[in-house]
Amino acid sequence: MHGQCLLQSAISRPPSSLVEKHHSREYPGPTAGLVPHSISTGVSNLSLRRSSKSILYSKFLDNGLLLPNKICFKVTPTVGWLGPRAVLASDLAASELVEKFDLDGQSQLQVNVVKSTAGSPTTIHLQVTNSNPSLILHWGAVNYDKKNWILPSHRPNGTQDYKKRALRTPFTKSGESSFLTIEILDTNISAIEFILYDQSREKWFKYEGQNFHIDLPRGDSGTPQKGDSGKPQVSIPEELVQIQAYLRWERRGKQIYTPEQEKEEYEAARKELQDEVAKGLSINDIREKLQGGGSLGDGSLSMKIPDDLIQVQSYIRWETAGKPNYSQEKQLQEFEEARKDLENELSKGISLADLRKKLQSGDTQKKAPDRIGKPKNIQRIHRKKRDILQMINKFPDKKENIKVSVEPEKRSALALCSQVMEALDGGSVLQKKIFKFGDKELLVLITNPRGKVHVRLATDMEGPLTLHWGLSKHSAREWTPPPLDILPEGSNLLQLACDTPFKEGFAGDASLKAVGDGIGTAKGLLHAIAEQESEAERSLMHRFNIATGLTKRAKDEGELGLAGILVWMRFMATRQLTWNKNYNVKPREISAAQDRLTDLLQQIFTEQPHNREIVRLIMSTVGRGGQGDVGQRIRDEILVIQRNNECKGGMMEEWHQKLHNNTSPDDVVICQALIDYAKSDFNMDVYWNTLISNGVTKERLGSYDRKICSEPRFSHDQKYGLIRDLTAYLRTLKAVHSGADLESAIATCMGYSAEGRGFMGGVRIHPISGLSSELPGLLQFIMEHIEDKWVGPLLEGLLEARFELRSNLLKPHDRLKDIIFLDLALDSTVRTAIERGFEELNNAQPSEIIYFITMVLENLSLSSDNNEEIIYCLKDWHHTIDLCKSKSDQWALYAKAVLDRTRLALTEKAEHYQKVLQPSAEYLGGLLGVDQSALSIFTEEMIRAGSAASLSLLLNRLDPVLRNIAHLGSWQVISPVEVRGFVITVDELAKVQNEVYGQKTILVANRVKGEEEIPDGVVAVLTPDMPDVLSHVSVRARNSKVCFATCFDPNILDDLRAKEGKALSIRPTSSDLVYNEIKVNEVLDDSENLSQGHGVSQGIALKKKKFNGKYAISADEFSDELIGAKSRNIAYLRGKVPSWVRVPVSVALPFGVFEKVLSEDMNKGVAEKIEALDKLVAKGDFSKLHKIREIVLQMNAPSQLVGELKDKMQRANMPWPGEEGEERWLQAWMAIKRVWASKWNERAYFSTRKAKIDHSDLCMAVLVQEIISADYAFVIHTTNPSTGDSSEIYAEIVKGLGETLVGAYPGRAMSFVTKKSDLNQVKVLGYPSKPIGLFIRQSIIFRSDSNGEDLEGYAGAGLYDSVPMDEEEKRTIDYSSDPLVVDHNFRRSILSKIAQVGHAIEELYGSPQDVEGVVKDGEIYVVQTRPQM
């Protein structure tokens, strides 16, 4: 048999240059085909010092096996079969035994055995040729004269214990073969037995139905060596003997030995180790003991526990206890307790090796309780009690003195096209020329991006157009056809030229969009940015210097100017723009430029407090090192990785969504797994091994809010780019989840230690003066707990630190920017901690989730300019916690209202960002050629990067819990009508209110404000919005028999949206709404003639009212010929309702007054304009409605009208506005005109048009009343409108004036019902969530009262405006101190009185009534009533 080539042990791997491929017939052993340049041959008795590690490596480079430095050839003779089973006989004279086994005709097993020598174990090399990569060795060892398998102490990497009866070890695949090396250190093992298992084929390989059996040679003589005791002497690896000898020398004071003494000490060390083995300690245990720093000997140390294991157990105990701050004495006590824990484990018979495995896997018995739930006795900081109202920042209108942005010179379409194409090619322009053809132009742009010449042509000529072109080398007259590989799409190659059609679309690319008009931006500034971008691309130094100059300009242009700078800097931070273009610049030059920019931003932060939020955002993109907020970089850089490596789908997109939703320490593991996966040439097993070994299982990946279900799939050409980018990204992830960025910011502000101790110790250098004395302790607490699993105490510390910093942020400071950067780092750490804490809340009680919500709200308030609404939401949540603790039966209902209000606050913040940032992003992005996909989500990404996104996730988690506790269900049905129709999804109901749908339609509308009309053909409106049950749109839905409902469950809404175009049936129940898919013909067969409208009587005729000669009338003159039902009803109530019900006095401007005033000569021009615009509206130009309303306000008042109105008001003891001066009368006159102008508001116009009411027949009287400066306003329906129950009264009540109840104001009113049989028993259905209340001083209100209201079959009430003479004051409502909310007795008294008023008025009229009124100082006022429709 030919000699075999064996791989021997080594200390390190060789450089790749030492390995070459070699095809050898002479040496077909385990390394056939892999031979180093330099090798040495040895004879059979060659003794080599061996490593305990496997000599086969699993990592590959360029398809070559990484070999050890030293490789030796050995030659061994052939041996024969001994016995009927597969036994490898031991040639005791040889150092190596070889045999081959045929497995299945295609694969062959070869076994090489190298016997043990002094200092080396017995080694078995196994090789299987033509094998699958999923080969497993199922094996065990055999003791002398025993049949049962025993498990060796030393096992190859990857070995798994199989039911404690066998071992399973995977082979390593290389080329066409699989390899495995086993080292046997135990002296009591005489043989190994095994079978092979191919996992991919589920096939077992045995020898003639039995195990393969390999006898092992021992010692130089082939028999076990024996010592003085007669027991076999084990062979101790030489490196262990060396360590023990060194430790003996160290114990003896490091004496100077003679060579003879050194030899004696060396053998004594070997004898000590052999004695330990004789006592039962395994070689593996000895190795781990010695590597842990301990030593063995003296006959009593075999059970000594290494200090490193005690330290691990001490850490586990400390972590379990909540990471408290222990004194030095307590630390020593804990160390000894940890030792006792482990000694107890050893006393049960466990080996040190097994104990080490248990500790490394976290599976160890501890006296401290296992952390299944929230740990007890967690160390927390003391939080100060603060008046949170002192935190309010309020800048109502941001009315700053700003310079108007200089409008750039208007550019042609081709000039803008050129700018975009230059940006796409990186600004590398070789030549640009525009040719004129009359009033048309042709642009020729030649660029050189990345060394490749591009020739672009564009024209504003009308198409279709074709370019006839060719190439020339020597002269203009020379024509040659272009090569095929450069032809543009659609080209037709001719004999000497080419024809290429021009493409339609902006910049010749249908994917590009025109830049737009720049409305809502600092347009001039954005053009200045675009013009300097090519210079800014040279380096970050250039960019920061240019940004400083442009920011000085933006400073004078206010919020929109700063928004432009923010957008530009964020484009930079997200690598949408070039950072450096072959320009060498020193780091200190970049730093100096950056300092100038941040110094200027610091100045703006001080001088413009109303713009602090946007300045903070700019600074977070710039950062101290040009890299911005590390937490934000997590979100930004994943997009860069996807873009750079073209991996935008699959697992990478799922991970991207998870990162944007909430990043956690798991992302460090995922990133490392992807790196390992790429480095292994995309071996999926490597990917899963990294994940699972670090606790990230497939189930865990699927448990995230944004699930990761897919496996990564990359191509080999992506490998090195992914390794590069993911490795850099891993540093960012580790920085966030270890607090590295925060630590840097702390060191900058607190100073650093000259003594090199912990960052809180030693002498401080360059600390910031004037900081709170409590701040250092808080920052130390934060850094000690930065990686805690339970993040509650960490969040408390972070927020307390931000509060302590707040006073320094509000005043000038020479190092203010460093304070801002520290605050940004604390803010970012809060976000990261919250995201990490989501797992903590999986099974949390509602009170725990609410507590997290309060902390995120605190953080958001500390980062926001206008934070008044956030602060009042925070107060409401604190009151919710109090209610929860008191076990109030109403706490969940109240909490649901607070949750709804908080969502409204987040929506308002998001809309503000959208309004301020998105136009600038789209306009500037268009000028710079930024990828359209990045522009479309620009504001969304900005919002998701802040605390608002985390808060939204917490609210989503709490919402279903509260609805379940409060028995609210997933729906609130406002108009319960059973319908069928086809689903259509719209963004806003207001945008489609004038549409006419040709088939029965179920609208799923994302936004419903409350004052819209419901379009023709619509049978149902389903929305996540929460209009009041008594809002205009709700009343219209019930009157029109349209199903109208609010859905609180986003999953249900998503399901409905997914059914776009499908036919559904909807059936409301008492507490829910059920929908099912049906067949299309079930809708079509059941359809009505929609052209006649749905649920509305058509062709209603109005009797046009004429002017009766009076400009003003008193209440005793009210009649149906002069005024509408609203005025008549209020006059009828006086003297007929209970005496404790107040009815305000009133006068009116009757029908026909508007038309009379308009016909006066003084208003002739106004009348002509209205007539002309009315004709355009009638033809369908509804944009002119707004213009008509504006023109109505230009009317002048005849003196007779002024005189008569003054007389009637004074006779009714009402204050006459003119007594306070001409200006006050003009205010009153403007309010009257606004009421008349509301005849042309869109809602009313579409409603009358839908009902086929002749708009010219509509007349408007004006009811004049003294306004009550109300504490509360209410609306009553004396029959429950949601259920139709006539035995119940339903009412809604709001803080302040009633306009927030009936108008388009977000949020819900307080709602309640009561039985008419017991008006004192009031049941609250919902608490208020309206953030705004309207309040007014004592004044006059002018109410619309048309002849188009309260008609049979048509409800026109609420279509037209009521206008107070004085402007209402908007106030943010504090419900946590509102007696109607917090005082049970007051609430019951007021609501009962309101119910009694409704009941009394219903009995007076003898029919259900719709009543409006107010509460002032506990008194009830009724301001109008009408029949309930």
Query: How does DSSP classify residue 1020?
Result: E
Q: Three-state DSSP class for 337?
A: helix
- Measured in degrees and rounded to the nearest 5, phi and psi for residue 443 equal -100, 130
Q: Which two tokens stand for residue 13?
A: 């791997």
- Residue entry with tokens 């699972």: 692
Rounded to whole angstroms, how far apart are CA atoms 990 and 1011? 9
1102 closest CA partner among 1124, 1132, 1130: 1124
**Is 37 a catalytic site residue?**
no
User: Are 1251 and 1096 contacting, i.e. CB atoms less than 8 angstroms apart?
Assistant: yes
Q: 1032, 1094, 1186, 1384: which is the annotated catalytic residue? A: 1032
Rounded to whole angstroms, how far apart are CA atoms 94 and 361? 43
- CB atoms under 10 Å from CB of 105, counted, come to 7
Rounded to whole angstroms, how far apart are CA atoms 820 and 826? 10
Q: Three-state DSSP class for 544?
A: helix
Q: What is the DSSP string of 936-967?
A: HTHHHHHHHTSHHHHHHHHHHHHHHHHHHHTT
Rounded to whole angstroms, how far apart are CA atoms 497 and 476? 13
Rounded to whole angstroms, how far apart are CA atoms 864 and 867? 6
Q: Three-state DSSP class for 615?
A: helix
Rounded to whole angstroms, how far apart are CA atoms 1013 and 435? 54
User: Are 968 and 985 contacting, i.e. CB atoms less than 8 angstroms apart?
Assistant: no
749 closest CA partner among 624, 856, 609, 858: 624
The β-bridge partners of 443 are 434, 458
- Measured in degrees and rounded to the nearest 5, phi and psi for residue 931 equal -55, 130
H helices present in 702-739, as ranges: 719-738
Angle at 648 between CA 645 and CA 652, to 5 degrees: 90
User: Are 219 and 116 contacting, i.e. CB atoms less than 8 angstroms apart?
Assistant: yes
| Amino acid at the residue 136 | I
End-to-end CA distance of the chain: 106
- CB atoms under 10 Å from CB of 1317, counted, come to 8
Residues in Cβ contact with 248 at an 8 Å cutoff, skipping those fewer than 6 apart: 265, 268, 269, 272, 295, 297
Rounded to whole angstroms, how far apart are CA atoms 1127 and 1345? 7
User: Are 1000 and 1021 contacting, i.e. CB atoms less than 8 angstroms apart?
Assistant: no
Q: Over the range 273-285, which residues count as b (16 or more CB within 10 Å of their CB) and which as e?
A: bbbbbeeebbbbb
User: Are 138 and 166 contacting, i.e. CB atoms less than 8 angstroms apart?
Assistant: yes
Q: Over the range 610-633, which residues count as b (16 or more CB within 10 Å of their CB) and which as e?
A: bbbbbbbbbbbbbbbebbbbbbbb
669 closest CA partner among 607, 615, 620, 737: 737
| Amino acid at the residue 1171 | E
Q: How far is CA 533 from CA 560, 580, 841, 1025, in A?
A: 19, 12, 47, 43
509 closest CA partner among 932, 914, 920: 932
Handedness of CA 771, 772, 774, 778 (dihedral sign): negative
Question: Where does residue 1104 rank: exposed (0-12), middle (13-18), buried (19+ CB within 10 A)?
Answer: middle
Active site residues: 1032
